[in-house]
Structure 1
Amino acid sequence: MSILGYLPGENILPDYMKAINYLKLVSDIRGNVEWTYVEKLINYFEINPKVKIKKMSKGMKQKVALITACMHKPKILILDEPTSGLDPLMQEKFLKIIKDFRNKWYNNFFSSHIFSEVEALADKIAIIKSGKIISEIVMKDVKTPYEKVYWVNKVNSYNLIFFK
């Protein structure tokens, strides 16, 4: 689907292919990809696309998967643990480009256990349990300079943080 980009929490890429071949294959299947933009993403994420995926580290594979999710400039981008395997410098680059995407054309939905990522990227947070939203938080309310009271309740092995 041309309006949707998706990055799963666990990437399974074809080990026998070089990254460039994989990216070209996905580009051909989608049919709506501007290849010069893919090349910009390859350079931005600093990958060597001529290396076989099998020889890549987890972080390099994650970067290939990120490019795959973003290459066609989807209107909706769904990311599950997007910085998994990325080193701290690349995590910062990722946050920067996602903010830029959001300002240009993307609506982002992502899951993360790293609060600094959530704080940097999210306007609104939903806590989901068993497929249902059990709580919603607006980030600007969390960031206000007023004194806040926090408490944690353990409910069915979930730690829920409440704000007042």
Structure 2
Amino acid sequence: MTDDRPFGALARDGLTHVELTWVEKKLEHWIRFGRIAEDRILTRRTRVVGFRPGAIFAFVRWASNDFGTIVSRIDVVRAVAANEPYTTLPFVRPGGDILLKIEGWPKVSQVLAVIDAVEAAGVDPCEAAPDHWRHVHQRITAGHQPRLYTTERHTAWLKRREIEG
């Protein structure tokens, strides 16, 4: 399905939109995890995905030139509702609550390994506690290994979320 509307025109539906681009070995923007509520193809190389308020997703950006990688970044973001404050982020409209922001391939690969570990624990990463992604950000930024996200931590998060309503 192709949509002729410009990227900015998509933001009126209450979703957080992320522009994804794929130019093999040059520019690659993709979603590592998250529940996509809407997916619109703009061109052969560009599409826009939408996330409902409260949804958590990981957005990976990578770019290279003739000399190698020039951008390597991952952001874990919580989509916001219309009345919530947010932080702007390139290719994300309007923006979101940034839970994790990591740059540089060695650190990005650490985050990808953490995501794999969450999945290995039997938890969908978009269901993991937002505080876990903040913890991962802080630990990796400080050069430390983040704690594992266990099923016990996840159960505690689900109970806390239930109590907070």
Please confirm whether the aligned pair reaches a TM-score higher than 0.5, indicating the same fold.
no
The structure with the largest helix share of the pair is 1
The structure with the largest strand share of the pair is 2
Using the size of structure 2 for normalisation, the TM-score is 0.28
User: Structure with the greater relative contact order (CA < 8 A, sep ≥ 6): 1 or 2?
Assistant: 1
Using the size of structure 1 for normalisation, the TM-score is 0.28
